Chain A
């Protein structure tokens, strides 16, 4: 079965420091990978996607993600964290045949002032 995994339930980082939220995938064929963010009592907001092309993908709010085929990873990164980045982050894979997303379990990012 195709899946994505987020090995960390929570990531803590100080404001101004770089942040990384990890995601690994197990997908046959070419992976279509996404990152979404969820704020309290809100739906999911799209951050970025990788379909093909450059391994470094730039997205919304200063986030970027690095696709690494040899390590089957798609880690989310930001050079300088903000307190307002504190939220729940989901990595997801899209089954292009079904056009349905399979989500990881989520990682809670806590940015301390």
Chain B
């Protein structure tokens, strides 16, 4: 079982650019959540995708958007990058079946905005 995978590992962009991050969930999972972890802080929930639709959203601007594909993998897109978008972006997968359980996290993508 490959677990949750994310790509790329690191990324450097400049202000105003756009970025796409990718996530493949753990086998058997159908739900993908994205979190932003700024340096020295706990992760913050961005949004969650299930059945190819955004189901829940945290307190993030519309510059942050996403997509889920039929194979359950997901993308996070950030437009018009700001310096403050520099962070570790974590993808977590889970299953809608059953009661709320633990989310399995990927290793993250470190985004640096210059």
- What is A's interface to B at a CB cutoff of 8 Å? 32, 34, 36, 41-46, 49, 51, 90, 92, 94, 96, 98-106
Contacts and interface: CB of A to CB of B under 8 A. Distances in A.
Interface residues of B, number: 27
A102 B90 contact: no
A100 B96 CA distance: 12
A102 B44 CA distance: 7
Contact of B102 (A34, A42, A105, A106): A34
A44 B100 contact: no
B interface secondary structure, majority? loop
A98 B48 CA distance: 9
A94 B92 CA distance: 13
B8 interface: no
Contact of A49 (B44, B96, B102, B108): B102
Given A49-B101, A96-B99, A96-B100, 9 more contacts: A41-B107, A43-B106, A44-B90, A44-B92, A46-B103, A51-B99, A98-B48, A100-B56, A101-B35
B58 interface: yes
Interface of B: 4, 31, 33, 35, 40-45, 48, 56, 58, 90, 92, 94, 96, 99-108
B99 A44 contact: no
B101 A101 contact: no
Contacts of A103: 42-44
A71 B92 CA distance: 30
B107 A102 contact: no
B43 A94 contact: no
B40 to A, nearest CB: 8
Contacts of B40: 106
A99 B56 contact: yes
Contact of B48 (A42, A45, A100, A102): A100
